[in-house]
């Protein structure tokens, strides 16, 4: 990709700074051709990128950039009154569908993407949805930008993007919730909180690394554990009896419904 004039609205936030840092480090975008806006002027973790331009003026950013990353919280788009017609706009905002983007920002070429918090480690799973007017060249740029922070998957239907918003966008929080419940149980059973926290963190690290290193499927791994008929199998069966499947369905359906119905 040649040098492109890139602008990131809300770019020093949690997700924006992770995406920008990855794309800058990998040379997908150029520091000296990139402008980042916030309301506060905060540079946060992007401060070391000395070539970036920081501004609080979204209109000036929109005038100079060809490609605009929208990464403010969904409730903050009400504070953005911009005409982005003619631009390639990459929106990572959950709960803001294509139709709402068009209604608010005009006839731009929109790509919606839904990275997750693991973008910070270069391990996001990022589904992309291209609007009707997006060109192949636009899509290639969007792919390169999001590939810098993880895996990219194109979806053709906004309903799938809504589903992925729960599955992989919110996904890290669901594992965190299970881990927090295990920590609470361990503390109730008498372990010191610090030990419970350290044990569960190490468990998560080890599980993520070993479960994903293998070529086998998750179902295959669970079946292997069940075959041992030991303590793990006893725990797995208790999960099913306690309602694992309906709980997971409800969790993903609630996140999807929130993504689809908006603010
Ligand atoms: N975090 C995730 O894992 C994740 C995953 C998928 C999608 N998303 C989406 O990513 C978006 C950002 O989430 P986040 O977690 O990164 O939130 P965040 O840390 O609060 O970042 C949002 C940033 O937007 C800036 N901002 C707000 N209003 C602005 C305005 N009018 N002009 C310029 N900048 C403005 C804020 O800075 P100031 O307060 O200084 O202005 C802040 O730095 C959300 O729409 C969310 O749905 C996040």
Q: Which atom of ligand 1 is nearest to the CA of 119?
A: 3
Distance 7 CA to ligand 1 centre (A): 14
Q: Would you say the CB of residue 62 lies under 6 angstroms from ligand 1?
A: no
pLDDT at 2 over 60: no
List, for residues 44-62, the tens digit of each pLDDT value.
999 999 999 999 999 999 9
Torsions phi, psi for 260 (to 5 deg): -80, -35
Ligand 1 centre to CA of 59 (Å) is 18
Closest residue by Cα to atom 3, ligand 1, is 117
The arithmetic mean of pLDDT across residues 251-259, rounded, is 96
Q: Whose CA is nearest to atom 18 of ligand 1?
A: 13
Does the pTM of the predicted model rise above 0.85?
yes
Q: Indicate whether residue 42 lines ligand 1 (CB < 6 A).
A: yes
Residue 179: the pLDDT is 98
What pLDDT is stored for residue 261 in this prediction? Answer: 86
Residue 230, pLDDT score: 95
Average pLDDT over residues 205-232: 91
Ligand 1 centroid–CA 48 distance in Å is: 20
Taking only the tens place, the pLDDT of each residue in 107-143 is 999 999 999 999 999 999 999 999 999 999 999 999 9
- According to the 3-state scheme, what is the secondary structure of the chain? CCCCCEEEECCCCHHHHHHHHHHHHCCCCCHHHEEEECCCCCCHHHCCCCCCEEECCHHHHHHHCCEEEECCCHHHHHHCCCCCCCCEEEECCCCCCHHHHHHHHCCCEEEEECCCHHHHHCCEEEEEEECCCCCHHHHHHHHHHHHCCEEEEEECCHHHHHHHHHHHHCHHHHHHHHHHHHHHHHHHCCCCHHHHHHHHHHHHHHHHHHHHHCCCCHHHHHHHHHHCCCHHHHHHHHHHHCCHHHHHHHHHHHHHHHHHHCC
User: Domains of the chain, with CATH numbers?
Assistant: 6-165 (3.40.50.720), 171-261 (1.10.3730.10)
Relative to the CA of 79, which ligand 1 atom is closest?
A: 31
Whether 1 has a pLDDT exceeding 70, the answer reads no
The model's pLDDT over 144-163, given as tens digits with 9 standing for 90+, comes to 999 999 999 999 999 999 99
* Alpha-carbon separation of residue 170 from 131, 174, 259 (angstroms): 23, 7, 10
The verdict on the CB of residue 149 being under 6 Å from ligand 1 is no
How remote is the CA of residue 78 from the centroid of ligand 1, in Å?
13
For the segment 78-103, the average pLDDT, to the nearest whole number, is 95
Q: Give the distance (Å) from ligand 1 centre to CA of residue 15.
A: 7
Which residue is listed with tokens 């999001």?
A: 146
Indicate if ligand 1 lies below 6 Å from the C-beta of 7: no
Indicate if ligand 1 lies below 6 Å from the C-beta of 11. no
pLDDT at residue 263, rounded to an integer? 66
The residue whose CA is least distant from atom 37 of ligand 1 is 38
pLDDT attached to residue 262: 73
Does the pLDDT of residue 81 top 70, yes or no? yes
C-beta 170 within 6 A of ligand 1 = no
């Amino acid at each position: 990709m040649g040098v492109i004039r890139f602008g990131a609205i809300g770019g020093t936030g949690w997700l924006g700074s992770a995406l920008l840092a990855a794309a800058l480090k990998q040379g997908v975008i150029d520091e000296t051709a990139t402008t980042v806006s916030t309301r506060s002027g905060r540079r946060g973790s992007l401060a070391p990128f000395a070539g970036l331009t920081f501004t609080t003026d979204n209109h000036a950013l929109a005038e100079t950039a060809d490609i605009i990353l929208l990464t403010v919280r969904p409730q903050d788009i009400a504070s953005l009154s911009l005409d982005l017609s003619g631009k390639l706009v990459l929106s990572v905002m959950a709960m803001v569908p294509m139709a709402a983007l068009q209604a608010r920002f005009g006839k731009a070429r929109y790509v919606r993407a839904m990275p997750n918090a693991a973008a910070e480690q270069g391990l996001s799973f990022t589904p992309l949805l291209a609007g009707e007017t997006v060109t192949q060249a636009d899509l290639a740029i969007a792919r390169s930008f999001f590939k810098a922070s993880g895996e990219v998957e194109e979806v053709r239907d906004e309903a799938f993007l809504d589903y992925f918003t729960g599955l992989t966008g919110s996904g890290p929080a669901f594992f965190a919730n299970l881990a927090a419940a295990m920590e609470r149980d361990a503390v109730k059973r008498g372990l010191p909180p610090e030990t419970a926290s350290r044990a569960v963190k190490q468990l998560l690290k080890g599980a993520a690394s070993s479960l994903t290193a293998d070529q086998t499927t998750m179902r295959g791994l669970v079946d292997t554990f069940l075959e041992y008929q030991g303590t793990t199998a006893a725990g797995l069966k208790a999960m099913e009896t306690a309602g694992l499947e309906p709980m997971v369905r409800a969790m993903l359906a609630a996140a999807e419904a929130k993504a689809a119905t908006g603010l």
